[in-house]
Amino acid sequence: MRIGKKEDNGQNDRMPSMAGKEIDSDHDVFLKHSLSSNIKLLNRYVSKDADVVFRFLKLLDGQQNAVLVYVDNLADNQSIQQHIIAPILKEFGKAKGVLPGPVKIDRLKDSVVTARCVAETNKLNECVLEIFKGNTVFILDGSNRALIFTTPGWKTRDQDEPLGEPSIRGPRDSFIESLQENIVRVRRRIRDSGLTVKKYSLGRRTKTEVAVMYLSGVANQKIVDELDHRITKIDTDSIVASGYIEQFIEDNILTVFPQVQYSERPDKTAAAILEGRIAILVDNTPFVLIVPTVFSMFIQAPDDYYDRWIYSTFIRCIRYVAILISLFLPAFYVSLISFHQGLIPTRLVIFAAATREGIPFPALIEALIMEVTLEILREAGVRLPKSIGQAVGIVGGLVIGEAATNAGIVSPVMVIIVALTAVSSFSIPQYSIGISMRILRFFIIFAAGVFGLYGVVMAFLMVTANLTKLRSFGLDYMSPLAPFRMGDMKDFLIRLPMPAMKRRPRTLKNRDEKRQGDED
């Protein structure tokens, strides 16, 4: 196990304002030998917080004093009592016979307390930070060093099945809001000594813990170094969730396509690490970031690898067809009705004309009305409670579609087109790429309503040009299609049987490309 730690490199870092006072960690404040002086220093930063506990201890019949400082309920009170206070008072609470010499911090650390993890510091900056991480700081009179006991005690959410990425045949566990527990979930799946964890602390005020996980003998070191550079450049007050980091490290902020993948499934994250990618885990969020990414990763689902290759290939082909339908079907219909009626079979064009009789809007406005209505219903269904949201989405769509048709605002064919488009968009496994398709659909519909099929072709070329130009940490976004890499096509549109995928994707330029067996 290799564990590195890196905190706040390159940041002008300030501690949170705890009591109307900030402490600049670039200028260390050191503890003194006097307990009263150290308490005065701490009082400047934490004493006004009602939940901060100062637990004073009298040692050696009051000949020497000490204090424990922690945040109530953020630290585990039971652990503090059993593993810190009780052993100290048992050993040093009362002098037995002749008073011994003063209590030594080293003896207390090595031979008395039974806390699971003990660190030492002589800086007030670190003491304040650790207190608000849920740890306990012990300061002894006569010593300019403090002990930091790892005692986090907050409650975490019970593990549930992943909501955004439901599992059909794979594991049912998901990440939660605890960074350390999420790291354990990955380590349970990768029992390799090369699995490396590098920790960062981001956000001048939030001090959010971030962990980067990768296989040191597999991952491309240049990508690891580039990610390290981008993370250490982050200079902001707060990192509340992994989405904040995604926006700081992505290559291109102007494109609608996501360049960082996220997941709430440990099995998917472990598979990505084993492939040579890097996972970014953030405390207080159940979503893990995966870099670098390519477009095809957003179309693949973890369950593709748990079924036989024939089933998975068929499902993937369906997904790609669904993407084409969700992107181009409304635009194709608008262009044919508005400009290219001659391309429609005679019977079909007569039927379409009959359904549009009395419709007061051109096909472009008709399509935009229905698409905007659909997006409003979708957003309403997401924001409402789950039981109500599903009813709003289904009933609202049926009622509004039927009412709009009866009122003569839209044609029945347009309702069918929009409904088929909506159903197709639901087949995309990843939400981030799905919303990209929804945005592009409006752009393509508008191009079709103005220029006809020529507009659809121009929009397609512009989207394709943007995709082929994109990079994710220096890697081609449309690989292995552009540039074409025959070896990586084994897991693109089709998924060959597992024994045939002997190498990791060559796009990543991993240090170890061999995945299984002997190559042919």
Give me the pLDDT at residue 146, please. Answer: 93
pLDDT, tens digit, 9 for 90 and up, residues 383-412: 777 767 666 766 777 778 788 888 888 888
Query: Cα(272)–Cα(288) distance, rounded to whole angstroms?
Result: 11
Question: 209-227 burial, b for 16+ CB within 10 Å, e for fewer?
Answer: bbbbbbbeebbbeebbebb
100, 130, 149 — which closes off a domain?
A: 149
φ/ψ (deg, to 5) at 50 = -65, -25
φ/ψ (deg, to 5) at 503 = -120, 150
Query: Does one domain contain both 132 and 214?
Result: no
Tell me if 182 sits within 8 A of 213, measured CB to CB. no
pLDDT, tens digit, 9 for 90 and up, residues 304-358: 999 999 999 999 999 999 999 999 999 999 999 989 888 888 888 888 888 888 8
Give me the pLDDT at residue 273, please. Answer: 96
In this structure, is residue 314 part of a structural domain? yes
Question: Domain limits at 256?
Answer: 179-293
Query: Does one domain contain both 124 and 229?
Result: no
Query: Does one domain contain both 273 and 313?
Result: no
In this structure, is residue 330 part of a structural domain? yes
In this structure, is residue 122 part of a structural domain? yes
Which residue, among 103, 251, 37, 280, has the nearest Cα to 182 in the 3D structure?
280
In this structure, is residue 486 part of a structural domain? no
**Greatest CA separation found in the chain?**
111
Give me the pLDDT at residue 186, please. Answer: 95
Side chain identity at residue 143, one-letter code: S
Task: Please state, in angstroms and as integers, the Cα–Cα distance from residue 424 to each residue in 323, 371, 377, 397, 437, following that order.
Answer: 7, 14, 16, 15, 11
Query: Does one domain contain both 320 and 468?
Result: yes
Query: Cα(28)–Cα(194) distance, rounded to whole angstroms?
Result: 35
Which residues are CB-neighbours of 229 under 8 A, at least 6 positions away? none
266, 293, 320 — which closes off a domain?
A: 293
Three-class secondary structure of residue 212 per DSSP: strand
Query: Does one domain contain both 363 and 287?
Result: no
Which residue, among 207, 177, 293, has the nearest Cα to 13 in the 3D structure?
207
Helical packing angle, 453-469 and 431-451, nearest 10°: 140
Give me the pLDDT at residue 11, please. Answer: 41
149, 166, 199 — which closes off a domain?
A: 149
Per-residue pLDDT of the chain in tens (520 residues, 90 and over written 9)? 344 444 444 343 433 334 445 555 557 789 998 999 999 988 888 866 778 899 999 888 878 899 999 998 889 888 999 999 999 988 887 765 544 557 788 888 888 888 888 999 999 989 998 998 889 999 999 899 999 999 988 777 777 788 888 888 889 889 999 999 999 999 999 999 999 999 999 999 899 999 999 999 899 999 999 999 999 999 999 999 999 999 999 999 999 999 999 999 999 999 999 999 999 999 999 999 999 999 999 999 999 999 999 999 999 999 999 999 999 999 999 999 989 888 888 888 888 888 888 888 889 999 998 899 888 888 887 777 776 766 676 677 777 878 888 888 888 888 889 889 988 988 888 889 999 999 999 999 999 999 999 999 999 999 999 999 999 998 999 999 988 888 888 888 888 998 888 889 888 989 888 888 765 4
Other residues' Cβ atoms within 10 Å of the Cβ of residue 236: 14
In this structure, is residue 482 part of a structural domain? no
Query: Does one domain contain both 368 and 446?
Result: yes
Q: Which long-range contacts (CB under 8 A, 24 or more apart) does 221-227 make?
A: 221/511, 222/474, 222/509, 223/278, 223/291, 223/292, 223/473, 223/474, 223/475, 223/508, 224/278, 226/473, 226/474, 227/278, 227/280, 227/291, 227/473
Query: Does one domain contain both 196 and 317?
Result: no
Query: Does one domain contain both 231 and 363?
Result: no
State the total domains in the chain: 3
Query: Cα(321)–Cα(418) distance, rounded to whole angstroms?
Result: 16
Query: Does one domain contain both 287 and 358?
Result: no
Query: Cα(474)–Cα(222) distance, rounded to whole angstroms?
Result: 10
Give me the pLDDT at residue 163, please. Answer: 81
Give me the pLDDT at residue 154, please. Answer: 75
Query: Does one domain contain both 274 and 345?
Result: no
In this structure, is residue 188 part of a structural domain? yes
Q: Tokens 């067996």 label which residue? A: 517
Query: Does one domain contain both 241 and 356?
Result: no
DSSP 174-188: ---S-HHHHHHHHHT
Q: What is the pTM for the complete model shown?
A: 0.85
Tell me if 139 sits within 8 A of 35, measured CB to CB. yes
- H helix intervals, 72-133: 77-80, 86-92, 105-107, 124-131
Q: Tokens 């953030």 label which residue? A: 282
Tell me if 465 sits within 8 A of 458, measured CB to CB. no
Give me the pLDDT at residue 156, please. Answer: 73
Tell me if 426 sits within 8 A of 348, measured CB to CB. no
Query: Does one domain contain both 466 and 370?
Result: yes
In this structure, is residue 513 part of a structural domain? no
Give me the pLDDT at residue 23, please. Answer: 55
Give me the pLDDT at residue 406, please. Answer: 82
Give me the pLDDT at residue 5, please. Answer: 40
Other residues' Cβ atoms within 10 Å of the Cβ of residue 97: 5
In this structure, is residue 425 part of a structural domain? yes
